[in-house]
Each structure stands twice: as structure tokens, then as C-alpha cells.
Structure 1
Amino acid sequence: MSDLNKQKIVASVPQKGFFGHPKGLFTLFFTEFWERFSYYGMRAILVFYMYYEVSKGGLGLNESTALAIMSIYGSLVYMSGVIGGWLADRIFGTSKAVLYGGILIMFGHIVLALPGSLTMFFISMVLIVLGTGLLKPNVSSVVGDIYSEQDNRRDAGFSIFYMGINLGAFLSPLIVGEAMKYNFHLGFGIAAIGMFFGLLVFIYTKKKNLGLAGTYVANPLTPAEKKKVFTIIGLSVVLLAGMIAVTIPMGLLTFDSFIVMIGILGILLPTMYFIVMYRSPKTTEVERSRIIAYIPLFIASVMFWAIQEQGSTILAVYADKRTQLEFLGIHISPAWFQSLNPLFIILLAPAFAWFWVKLGDRQPSVPTKFSLALLFAGLSFLVILLPAYFGGANSLVSPLWLVLSYFIVVLGELCLSPVGLSATTKLAPAAFSAQTMSLWFLSSAAAQAINAQIVKFYTPETEMTYFGVIGGAAIVLSILLFLLVPKIQGYMKGVR
């Protein structure tokens, strides 16, 4: 996008109106608030819906299968963001991507809200994966569009936007988790209504509040490219449909083989990104050095998210089956624990931001912060094995153990997630700045693809071993990364 277009976009957006920020931030804040409300509300009860017996309103799937599906679903959501970003950049712009994505998500939740078969369940998952891939990366891009690059409100605007994400993620498990006590489909219906509200906010306020933001196609396809791309997409769809039609009856494409395939893809995609960027003639020697520095950070991120994302899988099962849900006279829904992560982020993020600013030049380097994040992630898993060690694997444990585990992993998240986003923008080669951001999100996709392979090893009998091995591995990797800090810092070529 040219500088002229950027200036025209900013000029078209009313620059005062939402806590001293552009009016468009109101539209994007509440669009993302309701989208995250719907997503995290649905996610808070999804694994229970899959493995609860049919008589209890669930699908009656095997527990390990449900955990693997949950991980694969999370991986595909992050992978689809790469496609959503490309479609917005090359074909219809970010504003339309947000609109189309929200519609797909809403219909996905509506399908879940209707009592149906396993086939309907998978249809809903496809709709939500595609919709989230369109909406999630592009709504953040529109936030950037409404500020000029010199606007000193920009970082604060993103902080307010990030608060909307976490408010939606905090409230929805509490509401949907309560609905789950009565009926899973009622919970999914509430998630659908949440996305509907998000669409209403976006549709009815975007013209007045967003102006031209999101309407430009950053790098549109030429007529020749369009013909070539649409031909390739059409042939790919036909080929994929043909392969599915042949391999399923032959027994070659099973659920287990699909998990393996996504696991390979989760590792292969970021590997290809690194190779292409490193070997590109557009990448300078300094940028190649920074790519080398980025690799151990990426691996650390994969390890961290592999633990953090188990909050909606293994720890959800732990909350349901191993936790005393009567506490201080209150019956706790196991879905409510999903609100702890965003709650702690809302409470602690300002403190972390203040602490880093207070330290100034004395604050830890990026790789040191990543090693701290891994240390906290490992400790969060070691904490959760202690109840079984002291009380046995068959006794119900206090919910405070889960609260402590979530609290510790959030300490790690605040050392890694915002720091990783910032480091990605600094270490990215100039020619691959947007794609490097996609690469950062692929660390979560890779983590969940790996999780789909390892969650099947979790059983009541292997609980202590499971938490101990994974938590211990994170701590060992944390120590190794800390020892490599001087080396990594040298490859970063001045980036701290």
C-alpha cells in the first residue's frame, strides 16, 4: 500500500471519539470483544461436549480422541490465519475478510447449537476454522490502519484493543459454562449470539467510524495472476476432494492418519518459511544472522504454547474429573477455569508493562525473557502433579491447585507473548515483515499439532509422569536457552 493511500485512510477516520482515540477503535474493540466471547465460550465447553456420554447431551467420543480433536482444531485455526491474511492482502481487503469471517463463525456456532450428528460437528469446525482464519489476523491489521505511523497513541490503542480480547475471553466461559449445566447446545447458541452482536457492531458502525480503513487491497492480484491463482485453487479443491473420496473408503485416511498429517504440516510450514526467508536474495547478511537468532526463540515459543494451550484440553479434563467442584458453598462449572487465563492477563499485564519500563536498559534481553517464560511454563505443570503425589491419583483436589497452575503459566505468557510480537517485528527481514508475523503465529499451530500427538498419553494412571516429563522438559529447555543467551544476542545484531 502506498504512503498516499495510508494518509487517505487515516484522514477518512474520525480521530477523536473513543477514550481519546479514533472512533474506529470502538468498532474494532467491540467486534473483537464479541468474536473472542463467542470463540472462547465455545472452546470452554467443546472438549466436554465431545467426550460426555450421549445421555448427558454429549457426542460420546473417546476421551483421548476428543483431546486430539481439540488440539488439531486449535492448530488449524492458527494455520488458517495464513490463508486469511493472504486473501485479504491479495483479493478482497481486510474489512471484507473480517465480515466474511464473522459470518462463517456465526454459522459454525449455529450448527453446533443444533442437536445433530458427528458430521454436523465437523461441518461446524470447518466453518469456525475458516472464519477465524479470515477474521482474527485481519481485524488487528485494521487497528493499525486507523493510526498514522507517527501517532503516539498507536501502542496505547493496541493495548485497549488487547483488553477487549481478554474481556471477551474472561466473561464467556463464565456465562457459557453456566449454560452447559443445562444443555451444551444452549451454550453454543450463546456463542452464536455473541458473534451476531459482533457482526451488528461491525456492519452498522464501520462506514461512519472506519472510513476507508480495511477497504484497500494491499497487494492486489493482476488479471493474469487472478486467472492463474483461481485455476490453481480450483484444481487443488478437485484434487483434494478426489483424494478424500478415494482414501477414506480404502481406509488410508483415518482420524489417526489425519492427526499425523497435521502434525507434519505443523512442523513443515514454519521450516519452509525459515528456509525461504534465509535463502532469499532479498535478505541481507544482517537479516540472515537475525533469522538464525529467531530460530531458538521460535522453538522456545512452540514449547511454551504446547503447555499453555493444554489449558483447554488436559487441564479442562483435570478440572472436570480430578477437581473438587464444590468450593465455599458454590458449585463450580469446570468451564469456569478457562476464565482464569484472561483474568490474570487483565490484572497482571499493566504491572509487567510498568516493570519493564521501570527497569529500562536494565531489563532482561529477549532470549532471557523467553527462558523465564519456559521456566514458568514448566513450573505450572510441576505444580499440578503435586496433589497426586501427596494425596494419590484417585482423590479430588482443591480447585486452588488449578488456579495456581494457571497463574504461573500466565507469568510466563507475559514474558513471551507481547515480547515475541515485538521481537518478531525487530528481527524480521524487511522483505518478509508481514510473513514473519504469520510465522510467529505458526508457533502456536506447531505447538497444538504436537499436542495432538502427546495428549493421548494422558490417563489417570500416567498423570504424574505426563505432567512431570513435559514440565521437566520445559525447564531443561529454559536452562539451555539461558546458557545460549550471549550467543543468540550476538546473532541478533544490535536488537535487544
Structure 2
Amino acid sequence: MKKHEFRTEPLPTPSMPSGVVHLVVNEGAERFSYYGMRSILVVFMTGMLLNTQGSLDPMGEAEAKSYFHLFASGVYFFPFLGAILADAFWGKYKTIILLSLVYCGGHVVLALDHTRFGLLVGLTLIAIGSGGIKPCVSANLGDQFGVVNGHLLTKAFAWFYFAINVGAFGSVMLTPWLLEHFGPGLAFGVPGILMFVATIIFWSGRAHYAHIPPDRSGVFQALSRPQTWRGIGKLAGIYVFVAFFWSLYDQTSSAWVLQAQHMDRVWMGVEWLPSQIQAVNPVLIMVFIPLFTYVVYPVLNRMVRLTSLRKMAMGFFLAVGAFLISAYIEQQIESGMEPAIAWQLLAFVVITAAEVMVSITCLEFSYTQAPLKLKSLLMGLFLLSVSLGNGFTAFVNYWIQNSDGTVALTGPDYYWFFAGIMFLVACLFLLVMKGYEEKAYLQGTRPG
């Protein structure tokens, strides 16, 4: 790509930028790819994994959860690689295109090789590709806006998150069904096809984007300012707390799936697969985004000034409530009962409300609080919080495995442990957030 082939700054228009449509649709297709693959991982690892001779060689539940969260940790660690490549070397567009192809390669490996080796290679490629593009995609969306239409940024990020959940719902409904009826080849293959489609959609909108060029000297200059490091340090302090939220939230695709296997999953006259229950999350997101934007937040704002950090704090406490419900469900299972899946659906309602207040808020917060030259890098720092949270979960699940094959933290105690940790984190966050002063940086403004 020639250095000045495309626009290098957003158009001075008060309307929504034309490239936003491509970016939103691309994100929906890419999320179909990711969540479809991810939704069946635990079931695949505990029931369909093969050895090199082609015989079944499944993992135990604790081992599978450890592998799952180690992979998720990798997905959210590699954003730093993508952020550095985008901000200092390749630019966001080139970084997204090249790492999307790596991403597609990971899906191909998972579809063709169902051994542990294939699992590790496929997940590694997906972690590099998916993780590498994450900070670039969301930061690239923000780059389409300047001072004139900056007021539309919140709406654009809401559409962006809406597309994520449309893709997630479709994939979480379809992919477990494909795994159940056609096996892992097709179940992993279809998400791979959608990732390729996502790459084509992104490429086709290239003429509509503002391509903010990489600026290695600008990055290093920004990093040389003491105020930049003070800002990064303050954001990093916030993200440490957010990491524990992700530790709980991402277990909806691991521990909650395994829990659903022991529940009465007949709902609305249909017996749902354990991996399909999580499809309620994107549906709730699509309902909750407008509900919170136009009803809940305005009502709360009349009672107390609703800052980004206050929204996050509320979300942390809601996450505690969701895991208390999970602990109750596990108590019923341990007593020999088969609790109705409605209990887990209630937990999903609570954790999804928490997600709206933490994740969407933090997505926009991370972009606006980042200095102009460090948008991708700071988005990568936010995503690292997801990596740290999943790393913590993976460590806990590794730590509780005894040498004799038993597990130290079982039943409701497992959920009580995470609920207790999150409660302590939320209380401490209430104290820390008082010292944070918010300051926004948008394209077209002078760097601070």
C-alpha cells in the first residue's frame, strides 16, 4: 500500500463516517468465527479429543478449564503485539489484514487435526491472529471520528458491540449443533469460513477508511513524556480491577457449560445442548444495550452523576451476584437434584448486565483516555486485563488439581471462592476510583 494512497485523517463531517458499516459488519462476522469455535472447545476437549493413533483421549474437567483459560489469556495477551505493529510499524489496516490471515490458518488446523497437537497449534495461531487484531479493530473504529462528529462515537461503539453479539448469538446456536450432529471437522470449519468472509469485508471497505499512518517517532515521543506514563499508570491501575471481572465472566464458556451438563436443560419445550445455553448472553446484550443507554443510565444519572468508573463499580458487584447464583445451582446439583436451567439463565441475566456496565464502558473509556499516538497500545493494555483475568482462572484450575486426580476446590466452594475474590476487588475499587481524573483525547485535538 502506498504511503498516501488513502485518507490519513477523518473527514470533517457531522455525520456517521461511511467506513463504519464495513467495520461493524466485519466485526460481526469475525466474532461469529471466534465465539463459534470457543463455544465448543470445552465439550470438544472433554469428549472428542483424539490421540495420535486416532483413539479418544479426552481431558478431565479441571484440565480442560485450565487449557481453555490459558488460550483465552493468550488471545488477550497478543493485542500488545498487534498494538506495537499497528502504532509503530505497519498501521492498523495492514496489521488487521495480515494477522487475519494467520487467524484463518488457525481455524483450518482445528478443522483438520483433532489431536492435542492440532489443538495447540490451531489455538496458538488463533490467539496470535485474533489477539493481534483486537486493539487495531476497535481503535480503527475510533480513528474514523474527529472533533466534529466525536459525539457519535458512543453510538458507533454501541453498534460495534451490537454486531459482536449478533455474530456471537448465531455462532453459539449453530456451532454446538454442528458438533453434535456432524463432528468437529465441520463445527470448526464453519467458523473458519466466516473468518475468511470477515477479512474480505474489511478489505472491501479500505477506500472508506481514514488510515492513520504508523508513527514510530511519535510513539516514542509520546512515551518519553512523564505525563504519558502517569496516564498509562493510572489506566493500568484501573485494568487490574477489570481483570478480576473477566476472570469470572469468561467462565460462562467453561465452568458454566460443564455445570449445564448436570441441569434440566428443557426450556420452552426444547432440550438445549450445554454449549447453547450461553447463546442467551448475546440476546440479552442486544436487549440491554438500548435499555441501559436510553432507560437505566438516564434514571441512575438523575440520582448520582454516572461516570465511567461508577458504571464499572456497579458491574463488579453484579458479577458477584451472578456467581452466588452459580454457587446455589452447584449446591442443588451436589445434593442430587437436577435444577432447572432457568437458574443459570437468571445468572446470565445478572452477568450480562455486569458486562454492559463494565465491558462497553471500558471499551470506549480505553479509547478516549489514550493519548493520540497510543490508541492501539492503550487498547492493548485494556485487553491485557482480559488476559490477566483468564490467566488467574487458569492458574486456579491448575492449582486445585491433586496428583491423585482429585480436585481441591469442588462444587459450590469453587463459585464461592471467585465470588468472594470479586467482592473484595469491588470494594477496593470504590476507594481507588476516587483518585482518577478522566481526560478525553480524540483525533483532531491537540495532543496533551
TM-score grouping bracket, smaller chain normalisation? 0.7 to 0.9
Letter in 2 for 1:299: V
Secondary structure class of the residue paired with 1:198: helix
Structure 1 pair 124–7 and aligned structure 2 pair: CA distance change class (3 A): closer
1:227-246 map, 5 Å:
none
Q: Deviations over 1:365-411 (max 9, x none)?
A: 44443332221111111111213434634432211111111111112
Q: 1:21 maps to what in 2?
A: 16
Which entry has the higher C-alpha Rg, 1 or 2?
A: 1
Q: 2:279 maps to what in 1?
A: 339
Identity among equivalent positions (%) equals 24
Secondary structure class of the residue paired with 1:397: coil
> 1:59 and 1:123 mapped to 2: Cα distance?
17
> 1:393 and 1:495 mapped to 2: Cα distance?
52
Secondary structure class of the residue paired with 2:16: coil
Structure 1 pair 397–5 and aligned structure 2 pair: CA distance change class (3 A): same
Structure 1 pair 50–217 and aligned structure 2 pair: CA distance change class (3 A): same
Q: Give structure 1 stretches of 5+ with no counterpart.
A: 223-276
Secondary structure class of the residue paired with 1:153: helix
Structure 1 pair 9–75 and aligned structure 2 pair: CA distance change class (3 A): same
> 1:22 and 1:311 mapped to 2: Cα distance?
35
Structure 1 pair 89–430 and aligned structure 2 pair: CA distance change class (3 A): closer
> 2:38 and 2:148 mapped to 1: Cα distance?
38
Q: Deviations over 1:154-181 (max 9, x none)?
A: 3322322221111111111101111111
Q: Deviations over 1:8-43 (max 9, x none)?
A: 5435x9x89xxx733322221221111100000000
Q: 2:77 maps to what in 1?
A: 79
Question: Which among 385, 389, 412 is matched to residue 443 of structure 1?
Answer: 385
> 2:125 and 2:157 mapped to 1: Cα distance?
28
> 1:465 and 1:118 mapped to 2: Cα distance?
30
Bigger relative CO (Cα 8 Å, ≥ 6 apart): 2
Q: 1:179 maps to what in 2?
A: 178
Structure 1 pair 371–113 and aligned structure 2 pair: CA distance change class (3 A): same
Q: Deviations over 1:273-302 (max 9, x none)?
A: xxxx9xx762249x84x6676565333212
1:52 aligns with 2:50: no
> 1:428 and 1:201 mapped to 2: Cα distance?
28
> 1:462 and 1:221 mapped to 2: Cα distance?
52
1:386 aligns with 2:385: no
Letter in 2 for 1:343: V
Q: Deviations over 1:131-151 (max 9, x none)?
A: 112322222232223333321
* Aligned-residue RMSD, C-alpha: 3.3
Letter in 2 for 1:395: M
Q: 1:163 maps to what in 2?
A: 162
Q: 1:282 maps to what in 2?
A: 225
Structure 1 pair 310–60 and aligned structure 2 pair: CA distance change class (3 A): same
> 1:57 and 1:170 mapped to 2: Cα distance?
32
* Further displaced range: 116-125 or 182-191: 116-125
1:132-143 map, 5 Å:
132-143=130-141
Q: 2:197 maps to what in 1?
A: 197
More helix by share: 1
> 2:271 and 2:145 mapped to 1: Cα distance?
46
Aligned length: 422
Deviation (angstroms), 1:86? 1.1
The answer as to whether partners of 1:304 and 1:374 remain within 8 angstroms in 2 is yes
Letter in 2 for 1:185: G
Letter in 2 for 1:127: L
Q: 2:347 maps to what in 1?
A: 405
Q: Deviations over 1:294-316 (max 9, x none)?
A: 56533321211110011111112
Q: 2:411 maps to what in 1?
A: 463
> 2:200 and 2:37 mapped to 1: Cα distance?
20
Q: Give structure 2 stretches of 5+ with no counterpart.
A: 402-406, 441-448
> 1:428 and 1:54 mapped to 2: Cα distance?
43
> 2:30 and 2:438 mapped to 1: Cα distance?
39
Deviation (angstroms), 1:358? 4.8
Structure 1 pair 466–27 and aligned structure 2 pair: CA distance change class (3 A): same
Q: 2:28 maps to what in 1?
A: 33
Letter in 2 for 1:37: F
* Further displaced range: 437-446 or 305-314: 437-446
> 1:8 and 1:387 mapped to 2: Cα distance?
53
The answer as to whether partners of 2:90 and 2:214 remain within 8 angstroms in 1 is no
Q: Deviations over 1:88-128 (max 9, x none)?
A: 22222221222222222222111111144321221111211
Letter in 2 for 1:385: A
Deviation (angstroms), 1:185? 1.8
> 1:419 and 1:207 mapped to 2: Cα distance?
28
Letter in 1 for 2:254: T
